[in-house]
Structure 1
Amino acid sequence: MTVRDTLLVQQRDLQRALAETYVERDTRIAGSGTSLIKVITGPRRAGKSFFAIHHLARSSDRSFGYVNFDDERLTNLLDYDEIIAAVDSVYNKPKVLLLDEVQNLPEWELFVNRLARQGYDLVITGSNAHLLSAELSTHLTGRYLQTFILPFSFAEFLRLTSRELTMQEKIAALPAYAEGGGYPEPLVKRFSSRDYLATLFDSIVYKDIVKRFRVRSVQGIEDLARYLLSNTASEYSYGSLARITRSKSPMTVQKYLGYLEETFLFFSLPRFSFRVKDQVASNKKIYCSDTGFIAAKAFRFSGNRGKMYENLVAIALWKLQLQGQASVFYWKNAQQEEVDFVIQKGGQVTALIQVCTDLTVEKTRSREIRALLKASRELKCDNLVILSERVEKIETAEWFGMVGTVHYIPLWKWLVGPGDSSGS
């Protein structure tokens, strides 16, 4: 099959995708209308390509060319000019190009740089955060803007239903969202996500990590991924992970965890400290990028709603961090009292957030409030939030002379607009 034939087949895939149901995303492409390279990054199958082609189809007054590099017939080419010649033939010499999963092309950054110099309006997608950021910053300094596309947020998940939902229907939708996750394809096409997500997770581990980075200990990275899935929202150190997963050394674990985070399967939040040195030295907390993976792959995690809901909040805040809108941490004092999330903007702590599924237990409620008040005094932040399933109120709390106003917000409502309580 020639390069032109390959692009003709991809063009048909493009036309089918444009005809499919599209759920409007809450994100916009950074740099639209400028000559800067538009970079769209995020996990595999999260909807990057779908988002890009629908954006270009609606917003561009010019036709665009499309090349999907998740195809070995293209990535094995030695002469990249063959690709441009085929694009010109199939799409009538477009000046707007969408290059999909471009990190699969050897020395792709040099190719992209050359196209940019030649005046092409480029939109590129990729599924590896490190490869993209490291190579773009080296070869395209100041000439690109980045947009992150993750699986559906809860607001986007609700948008799958065309009719307006009642409050009770939104509340009822939250457990289904937590269990099934936000990956678009099973949700839009309405089939069970469990097997799909289990297969996708394994595919990312093998295709984007084991194969790309030539990982020798496949069992080691499998054990690490499985342990992290079953212990999301928990603290870790490289040493403890090395002992648990029987890896050779903490350095190996650090490398493997880096791979898992670069492919957007997991992310970590550091412990808050005003001293960067202490932040680096302290344990971090691990979260999964989509709770559907946890339900599909984790061992003995089902039924732990508290951890699952905390992970949902972490994902929403992680999105703010990826977009450069906030820095996110957790807080813990010497007495091991903990606040789930610390939001920092412009050097100031703007919100302290606890996630608690059951506030009817007085001991639990008292523990959450006590930690909030102590963190409030230490971090000089009076925006105190407790997220639970249904409670919505504002009350004044006190603990041995420490006083604060606590905002109780139902989790479903906060997830629809997390910026509302993050100090924005």
Structure 2
Amino acid sequence: MGNGLVKVITGARRCGKSFLLFTLFEDYLHGKGVDDDHIIEAVLDDMAYSDLRDPERLYAYITSRITARDEQYYVLLDEVQYAISDTEMHGDEPPQLYEVLNGLLRMRNVDVYVTGSNSKMLSTDVMTQFRGRGDEVRVRPLSFAEFMQAYDGDVQHGWAEYVVFGGMPLTLSMRTDEQKSRYLESLFSETYLKDIVARNRLRKSQELDDLVNVLASSIGALSNPSKIKATFSSVLHSLISVNTITQYIGYLEDAFIIEEACRYNVKGRRYIGSPKKYYFEDVGLRNARLGFRQVEQTHIMENIVYNELRMRGFNVDVGVVEQRGYRDGMPFRRQLEIDFVANLGSQRYYIQSAYQLPDMEKTAQEKASLLGVDDSFQKIVLVRDIIKPTRDDHGILTMSVYDFLLEPNILQA
């Protein structure tokens, strides 16, 4: 508060941005003694505020409410992408909305907060246009720990629920699986995809639908637009181009539906351009997209661990360790994968999401890539079983995914 920056609250639709701003934050302001006439709000995706989607009218409305220069005002704007026209969205000039927000920033007695569901306009463009005067606050669906605070049951039953229906907040108030399923399926098709089609003026949505299904079916698998095009050609008999696939993936990222994880050569200390992995912002939405028919525990757990690391602020890459040697007198070279290389400042962790280690062969397989890393950063294997954390002779820590998800400081222990 009061730092001279516009607070940009970003995240997917229905993940809790509006609740954070208009319930939790407004209650906080009231608790501080701020009167309602000093809280200026506009919910731009509500028809009641449709006139204010015009930036000039929005600016006039806000400034008309600021009647005392020596008193503090708080401006709260919800879903501000509605104040950016299609022409501005696809044009070369900055949208007029940015001028409105910059104008408000020049008023010393005004503190500005906005929410939005398009990362290109808000995470990227706002930071560019405001030249360091934008402060992004990222809101994500409920983490497993947050989910368990509201779930009435033990951790194992909570996990069984979370891996199917995810962490969209409203699902926790629904009583039946049918209600949750219908809500998530409708949210994906009627809100997310329709927003993307309308915002990007797509004439046909079938290819976008098909792409979402392909990505949802392959979480945790290496992919790239060329491989996806091959799937379209062989399975769907589609002539979609690589450029269109790349563009559509960008739209899904902008809408906070998916995130990409790049491959990183650990020993060579360089990024590998392609292929990449794609993870869903919420596993419940991913499952709903596939009609809850492909709830593979191993891949879902990997997606949940990725989301947890991102929620904790880590930059997350897929690690690649190159192994060279001789077998039967012949030289060989192979690439081993580390599920996640997580970096935050001076911290780094190498993490394998193993789900289960039923025997020594599987244990050796999961640890092989970690043993190929010769630095001193912590190396961790996560399993779904409830176990006490243990270290082997090489210093590799094996722990339960429940401990990892429920104890936010466990990596620093």
One fold, TM greater than 0.5?
yes
Q: Deviations over 1:69-115 (max 9, x none)?
A: 113523554633453267569xxx97111100011102322211112
Structure 1 pair 110–159 and aligned structure 2 pair: CA distance change class (3 A): same
Partner Cα separation in structure 1 for residue 190 and residue 52 of structure 2? 19
- What residue number does 2:343 align with? 344
Partner Cα separation in structure 1 for residue 191 and residue 132 of structure 2? 30
Residue 171 of structure 2 is aligned with which of 169, 176, 186?
186
Q: Give me the TM-score of the superposition, normalised by structure 2.
A: 0.82
Q: Which moved more, 1:138-147 or 1:263-272?
A: 138-147
Structure 2 residue 253 is the aligned partner of structure 1 residue 255: no
Partner Cα separation in structure 2 for residue 174 and residue 366 of structure 1? 27
The amino acid across from 1:115 in the alignment is L
Structure 1 pair 239–418 and aligned structure 2 pair: CA distance change class (3 A): farther
Partner Cα separation in structure 2 for residue 361 and residue 278 of structure 1? 34
Partner Cα separation in structure 2 for residue 303 and residue 142 of structure 1? 42
Residue 97 of structure 1 is aligned with which of 39, 53, 75?
75
Task: Give yes or no for contact 2:151–2:158 (8 Å, CA) kept in 1.
Answer: no
- What residue number does 2:182 align with? 195
Matches within 5 A, 1:390-401: 390-397=386-393
- What residue number does 1:118 align with? 107
Q: Secondary structure at the match of 1:235?
A: coil
Partner Cα separation in structure 1 for residue 97 and residue 400 of structure 2? 46
- What residue number does 1:25 align with? none
Structure 1 pair 217–279 and aligned structure 2 pair: CA distance change class (3 A): farther
- What residue number does 1:20 align with? none
Residue 170 of structure 1 is aligned with which of 143, 152, 155?
155
- What residue number does 2:25 align with? 55
- What residue number does 1:84 align with? 62
Structure 1 pair 241–291 and aligned structure 2 pair: CA distance change class (3 A): same
Note the C-alpha offset of 1:407.
1.2
- What residue number does 2:318 align with? 330
- What residue number does 1:14 align with? none
The amino acid across from 1:394 in the alignment is T
The amino acid across from 2:82 in the alignment is N
Task: Give yes or no for contact 2:319–2:341 (8 Å, CA) kept in 1.
Answer: yes
Task: Give yes or no for contact 2:287–2:295 (8 Å, CA) kept in 1.
Answer: no
Note the C-alpha offset of 1:416.
1.7
- What residue number does 2:91 align with? none
Q: What 5-or-longer segments of structure 2 have no aligned partner?
A: 85-95, 233-237, 323-333
Matches within 5 A, 1:300-315: 302-315=294-307
Structure 2 residue 205 is the aligned partner of structure 1 residue 213: no
Structure 1 vs Structure 2: percent identity of aligned residues?
Answer: 27
Task: Give yes or no for contact 2:105–2:112 (8 Å, CA) kept in 1.
Answer: yes
Q: Secondary structure at the match of 1:172?
A: helix
Partner Cα separation in structure 1 for residue 3 and residue 27 of structure 2? 17
- What residue number does 1:386 align with? 381
Q: Which moved more, 1:189-198 or 1:145-154?
A: 189-198
Q: What 5-or-longer segments of structure 1 have no aligned partner?
A: 1-31, 398-403
The amino acid across from 1:123 in the alignment is Y
Note the C-alpha offset of 1:217.
3.5
- What residue number does 2:288 align with? 296
Q: Secondary structure at the match of 1:227?
A: helix
Q: Secondary structure at the match of 2:392?
A: strand
Structure 1 pair 235–87 and aligned structure 2 pair: CA distance change class (3 A): farther
Q: Deviations over 1:324-377 (max 9, x none)?
A: xx321112345242211112244x672111112221133222200112211x22
Structure 1 pair 417–217 and aligned structure 2 pair: CA distance change class (3 A): farther
Q: Deviations over 1:131-151 (max 9, x none)?
A: 113331233112121111111
Task: Give yes or no for contact 1:67–1:98 (8 Å, CA) kept in 2.
Answer: yes
Task: Give yes or no for contact 2:310–2:316 (8 Å, CA) kept in 1.
Answer: yes
- What residue number does 1:154 align with? 144
Q: Secondary structure at the match of 1:339?
A: strand
- What residue number does 1:367 align with? 365
Structure 1 pair 81–276 and aligned structure 2 pair: CA distance change class (3 A): farther
Partner Cα separation in structure 1 for residue 376 and residue 225 of structure 2? 31
Q: Deviations over 1:164-189 (max 9, x none)?
A: x7xxx123311211111101112135
- What residue number does 1:69 align with? 44
Partner Cα separation in structure 2 for residue 315 and residue 363 of structure 1? 28
Task: Give yes or no for contact 1:229–1:293 (8 Å, CA) kept in 2.
Answer: no
Partner Cα separation in structure 1 for residue 286 and residue 193 of structure 2? 18
Partner Cα separation in structure 2 for residue 336 and residue 304 of structure 1? 25
Note the C-alpha offset of 1:249.
2.0
Matches within 5 A, 1:224-263: 224-245=211-232, 246=238, 248-263=240-255
What is the aligned-residue RMSD (CA, Å)?
2.6
Partner Cα separation in structure 2 for residue 171 and residue 300 of structure 1? 20
Partner Cα separation in structure 2 for residue 271 and residue 415 of structure 1? 24
Q: Secondary structure at the match of 2:57?
A: coil
Q: Deviations over 1:366-406 (max 9, x none)?
A: 200112211x22xx144111111223232325xxxxxx212
Partner Cα separation in structure 2 for residue 116 and residue 395 of structure 1? 52
Note the C-alpha offset of 1:272.
0.9
Partner Cα separation in structure 2 for residue 381 and residue 141 of structure 1? 38
The amino acid across from 2:101 in the alignment is V
Partner Cα separation in structure 1 for residue 116 and residue 198 of structure 2? 16
Q: Secondary structure at the match of 1:405?
A: coil
